[in-house]
């Protein structure tokens, strides 16, 4: 078996296992493959995606894309600082702004994993990754609330915690 074929087989095993864990083990809804063959799904009110990389089938990114769009009411520095604080304090989660072609930004939270074998992708691992993302998102909104100014007041309870179909 060639290395390329082995990578393809591993990628398909990882994709299949994650799809099964999402739909059957943790109760994610609307688990689908998108045009890039990444998985998209709804979990506890948010829209998430799992990205796969054919050149590196052991690398997987679980993301909560576009959960917040700062617009003009909150300064870019405030948002960037909050992202950096969350990334520093919750080591498992990376939080970062993503620029769109129109110049607007949205904030993404992601966990990246190296998966040596699809059998290691169990319910506990996936749920823990999703939970870490949710904790990071809550802490992000708390960090924004601590920096509130008359122009950028955001109540943690009112903060939009959702995901969009952008990644």
Confidence of residue 116 (pLDDT cuts 50, 70, 90): confident
Q: For residue 162, give every residue at least 6 positions away whose Cβ sits within 8 Å of its Cβ, in sequence order, or none.
A: 45, 46, 47, 67
Domain boundaries of the chain, sorted by first residue: 3-158
Query: For residues 95 and 93, what is the distance between their CA atoms, to the nearest angstrom?
Result: 6
Domain 3-158: assigned CATH number: 3.30.1460.10
Confidence of residue 166 (pLDDT cuts 50, 70, 90): very low
55-92 pLDDT per residue, tens: 998 999 999 999 999 876 778 888 999 999 999 999 99
Alpha helices in the chain (DSSP H): 3-20, 76-89, 123-146
pLDDT at 156: 43
134-153 pLDDT per residue, tens: 999 999 999 988 876 444 44
Query: For residues 1 and 8, what is the distance between their CA atoms, to the nearest angstrom?
Result: 11
pLDDT at 167: 38
Cα-atom radius of gyration of the chain, to the nearest Å?
17
């Amino acid at each position: 078996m060639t290395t390329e074929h082995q990578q393809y087989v591993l990628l398909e095993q990882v994709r299949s296992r994650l799809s099964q864990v999402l739909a059957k083990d943790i109760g994610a809804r609307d688990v689908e493959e998108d045009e890039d063959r990444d998985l998209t799904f709804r979990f506890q009110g948010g829209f998430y995606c799992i990205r796969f990389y054919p050149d590196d089938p052991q690398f997987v990114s679980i993301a909560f894309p576009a959960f917040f769009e700062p617009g003009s009411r909150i300064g870019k520095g405030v948002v960037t600082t909050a992202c950096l604080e969350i990334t520093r304090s919750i080591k498992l989660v990376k939080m970062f702004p993503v620029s769109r072609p129109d110049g607007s930004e949205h904030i993404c939270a992601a966990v990246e994993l190296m998966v040596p074998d699809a059998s290691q992708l169990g319910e506990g691992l996936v749920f823990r990754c999703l939970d870490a993302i949710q904790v990071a998102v809550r802490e992000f909104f708390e960090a924004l609330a601590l920096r509130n100014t008359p122009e950028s007041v955001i109540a943690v309870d009112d903060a939009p915690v959702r995901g969009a179909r952008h990644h």
